[in-house]
Amino acid sequence: MSSSEKTQTKTPLLSIRGLTKSFGQIKAVDNVSLDVFPGEVVGLIGDNGAGKSTFLSLLSGYNKKDSGDFYYKGEKISFSSPRTSRRNLKIEMVYQNLSLAPDLTVWQNSFLGEEIRRFGVLMDVPLMIEKTARVLKTLNSKVKPTDQVGELSGGEQQLVAISRALLFNRDLIIMDEPTAAISVSKIDDVLKLIKALKTDGKSIILVSHRLEDILTVSDRIVVFAHGKIRDILVNRNLAIEDLVRVMFQDRNVKKEEF
Ligand SMILES: Nc1ncnc2c1ncn2[C@@H]1O[C@H](COP(=O)(O)OP(=O)(O)OP(=O)(O)O)[C@@H](O)[C@H]1O
Ligand SMILES: [Mg+2]
């Protein structure tokens, strides 16, 4: 049996079948099917408006699908909100514009909406601080649980967002342009973090316009166009030009114009 056949016989962590979402006349996501395997980084690329963010929003429960099915470890599951997506799909979403509360501390952001309470009432602040500190340590970060998020750099804020995935032991982390809002010098840190999550057995779906980042971390690269999957490339001997060619094959755009 070849290694590619072996991969195909593994049970996917998440199977998506026939996922569809329209906004009025626009089919933002059009009959998309995809498997994501344990410990795999899937890069998601495509032109502006291709449907990448909408696709992620259907997984994270922020938008409601029109049709399609989700299977988690082979079992059909449903969810209707970000909360139930996190519970049932074990997904943590890291957003393009971060969506952290700048006035709150790191630990408060980490546990936002999922606070640990004693006897169901009182917040267990020391325990939440301790758990946050432990995760930050595994991420090799100097950030402290009591730091105010608004005073952290973009890269550090990204780390806080990602730490939620570890705190709640999510299986799948989906990231929409995680390196868009941070300085170039911090991009390597985020890429390292993605690799560390993968080593830890997590699966990651990464949307990025930075094709070099996609090539650095992805196992497979899914090319979206007009709401559909145009192609899925195994990341072996690929160059940026190869990705650009598939992304823009209907537009005849040269790399220099990208
Ligand atoms: N809430 C919305 N209401 C109406 N139309 C929407 C909404 N969200 C997305 N769209 C439309 O759906 C299509 C897909 O958009 P989406 O944001 O998913 O693309 P994208 O691939 O993430 O693009 P980008 O690379 O620019 O982030 C676009 O035509 C967009 O205008
Ligand atoms: Mg987008």
Which residue, judged by its Cα, is nearest atom 6 of ligand 1?
23
pLDDT at 4 over 60: no
3-state secondary structure of 35: strand
Calpha distance 258→248 (Å, rounded) = 9
Model confidence at 249, pLDDT cuts 50, 70, 90, reads confident
Cα end-to-end distance, the chain, whole Å: 40
Instruction: Kindly give the pairing relationship between strand 220-225 and strand 228-234.
Output: antiparallel
Pocket test for ligand 1, best of 21, 32, 53 (most atoms within 8 A of CB): 53
Per-residue pLDDT tens over the stretch 203-223: 999 999 999 999 999 999 999
Calpha distance 163→30 (Å, rounded) = 32
Tokens of 84: 């139930």
Asked if residue 26 has its Cβ within 6 Å of ligand 1, the reply is yes
Per-residue pLDDT tens over the stretch 76-105: 998 888 888 877 878 887 765 557 888 999
Which residue, judged by its Cα, is nearest atom 30 of ligand 1?
49
Query: Which residues sit with Cβ closer than 5 angstroms to ligand 2, an ion?
Result: 53
Which residue, judged by its Cα, is nearest atom 7 of ligand 1?
23
Instruction: Kindly give the pairing relationship between strand 67-72 and strand 14-23.
Output: antiparallel
pLDDT at 200 over 90: no
Q: Which atom of ligand 1 is nearest to the CA of 54?
A: 18
Domains, the chain, ordered by start: 3-257 (3.40.50.300)
How much is the pTM? 0.85
